[in-house]
Structure 1
Amino acid sequence: MNIINSLKKSVKNYNIRKDPFKYFRLIKENILYPGSFMFDFVVIGVQKAGTSALDKYLRDHTKLAMPIWKEISYFNNDKGFINNNLPNPRAFYRIKNRMKMYGEITPCYIYSPYAVERMKKHNPQMKIIVMLRNPIDRAFSQYNMETWRNWEKRSFLECIMKEIEEIKAGTKKYHMVRSYVHRGMYVEQIERVLKSFPNEQVLFLKYEDFRKDQKSSLQHIYHFLGVNEIPFNQEKTANKISYSSKMGEPEKDILRNFFLPTILEVEKRLSWDCSDWKE
């Protein structure tokens, strides 16, 4: 009966004529792998902070199971949660072996107002990994990504001035693309994570340290996850985009002044030295 109820719940809102392959995949997943499924760990951010390179490393570990693709966006699927119409998480994995730790990387989760709370309800024992990057460099990196995608036509100066104006006026809203400054306001995001998960289940990493010494950072991550270390062969990179120009000094000064309170608070909360973020 539990299998039947799970099957009905997973497929009730799918139109078989519109998407027959997805329909039958959901049936297969629920029949072959009935019962509950829980993610063991998730890397939740931040965007433009080395998470694609980290994803490549984690896929090499035999004790870890990663989804078919990076960024499955399960916990920020607002429509799916509202309509109680989420896919079976097993469908994202080729290997169905509970001897492995199941994880995923979606760097937008930490920015989402609801994803972290949903993760806690899904598995209160889940381990969380967060990579934080200098918010000034992160903003410019995201801007270059969006212009490369042709999703952004404004100048970087225009973007950050408009966003800072909205933030100060209290009118800035959650936005997946136009969030160059907003995503860098780490204090609220850190508080959201630590409100839902105890300190021992959360690992905060500094992107600049990861980039400088990937081997040591990976050893730290493996220890946190409770899996053995594996040989480190060579550094991995991903999603490198050539910038059309360097960040101008006026833009850098504006962001440096805006983010200074955030950087000081991050240093305090995480006991970090972020002097390089203030340069």
Structure 2
Amino acid sequence: MALCASGDERTSAAVVDFIVIGAMRAGTTMLNDLLAQHPEIAMARMKETDFFIDTKNYRLGTDWYGSQFAPGARLRGEVSPNYSKARDFPDVPRRIHGHCPAVRLVYMLRDPVERALSHYAHGWSMGRITLLPDQLIGGPQYEGMVDASRYARQLAQYHRHFPAEQILILDFESFRADPQPHYDALLRHIGAAPMPVPSARRQNESSELARVPKPLLKLAQGPLRPVLTRVFNPAVRGQLRRLMARGPARTPPEFTQKLRDHLCDDLTEDAATLRAMTGQAFPDWSV
């Protein structure tokens, strides 16, 4: 197991061997579930610990971070898609490298336009986005959506601190179509023993969260989240979520062609840069 070296901002150290850095709405919940079923791996109790973000949980310190992982596992990993949102959360790659220079990184991608649209739908369901699609264009929430889909830009931030061989790029569409070879590559990358792809126990819980009344959701996803994570295991948290999901679903408005066209215009250049950076074709993408 790799021990994170002490960085220049902490005197203690936490243990983590690999981090799935994103992208948001690109199958990271599925990856977390598949990896959690591997007998050698302990995934963080809190999916999306956001530990390496200074405005979120970094202030809690590495002892808190270490407490997120069950003891005794050969490998420890976490999934935090906010680590690949450089516009909103800058300097994450430098902070990760300061603590964990040998960590293995995993970046799961999907069609950048479809990812951004899913980002919008999720934000609407969670009550974080209230603007209609055409009202969104050009505003700060739109820019945040686009930034998270600019994979080449995100990857360039990590290449400043990590060699390319420490970062595995996975395509969500390809993974879903033929999971075993991609799962094999993932396990090799993080140093885990090979195994057949387990069944995904749960897909992303957005459909349930969209039915939780907004005041309860705001509490559960805000100040109560660290307490719920510490006290209840993932299975119990899922039961609580299902109990709260009693209201009508918040259904996002239909995406307009205008929004799709703007996203295509804003993401085509970055997608071309990504193909040049990685040597991967991503043939099924829209840009």
TM-score band by shorter chain is 0.7 to 0.9
| Aligned counterparts of 2:113 and 2:23: Cα–Cα separation in 1 | 13
| Aligned counterparts of 2:168 and 2:57: Cα–Cα separation in 1 | 28
Matched residue type, 2:61: L
Q: What SS is found at the alignment partner of 1:204?
A: strand
1:108 aligns with 2:78: no
2:223 maps to none
1:90 aligns with 2:66: yes
CA contact (8 A) 2:17 2:190 kept: no
1:214 aligns with 2:190: no
1:40 aligns with 2:17: yes
| Aligned counterparts of 1:181 and 1:117: Cα–Cα separation in 2 | 22
Q: Name the CA shift for 1:80/1:273 in 2 (closer, same or farther; >3 Å).
A: closer
Q: What SS is found at the alignment partner of 1:221?
A: helix
1:214-234, Cα deviation, whole Å (9 max, x unpaired): 222211101111211223343
1:266 aligns with 2:232: no
1:248 maps to 256
| Aligned counterparts of 1:155 and 1:178: Cα–Cα separation in 2 | 15
2:44 equivalent among 67, 70, 81? 67
Matched residue type, 1:146: G
Cα displacement (A) at 1:275: 3.7
Q: TM-score, normalised by structure 2?
A: 0.73
| Aligned counterparts of 2:91 and 2:42: Cα–Cα separation in 1 | 25
Q: What SS is found at the alignment partner of 2:52?
A: coil
2:265 maps to 257
Cα displacement (A) at 1:268: 0.7
Cα displacement (A) at 1:248: 2.5
1:179-225, Cα deviation, whole Å (9 max, x unpaired): 11221122221111111111111101112112222222211101111
Q: Name the CA shift for 1:258/1:92 in 2 (closer, same or farther; >3 Å).
A: same
1:179 maps to 144
Q: Name the CA shift for 1:258/1:225 in 2 (closer, same or farther; >3 Å).
A: same
* Structure 1 gaps, min length 5: 1-9, 11-34, 164-174
| Aligned counterparts of 1:44 and 1:275: Cα–Cα separation in 2 | 23
Q: What SS is found at the alignment partner of 2:61?
A: coil
1:87-112, Cα deviation, whole Å (9 max, x unpaired): 5122112x212x51111110111213
1:170 maps to none
Identity, % of aligned pairs?
A: 23
Q: What SS is found at the alignment partner of 2:84?
A: coil
1:92-142, Cα deviation, whole Å (9 max, x unpaired): 12x212x51111110111213121111101011110000112121111111
Matched residue type, 1:272: Q
CA contact (8 A) 1:44 1:128 kept: yes
Q: Kindly report which structure 2 residues correspond to 1:1-279, keeping only aligned pairs within 5 A, or say none.
A: 36-78=13-55, 81=58, 85-88=60-63, 89-93=65-69, 95-97=70-72, 100-111=74-85, 112-163=89-140, 179-235=144-200, 237-241=203-207, 244-278=252-286
State the Cα RMSD in Å: 2.4
CA contact (8 A) 2:124 2:252 kept: no
Rg larger in structure: 1
Q: TM-score, normalised by structure 1?
A: 0.75
1:155-182, Cα deviation, whole Å (9 max, x unpaired): 122213335xxxxxxxxxxx7x971122
Q: What SS is found at the alignment partner of 1:179?
A: helix
CA contact (8 A) 1:263 1:277 kept: no
CA contact (8 A) 1:38 1:122 kept: no
CA contact (8 A) 1:214 1:235 kept: no
CA contact (8 A) 2:111 2:285 kept: yes
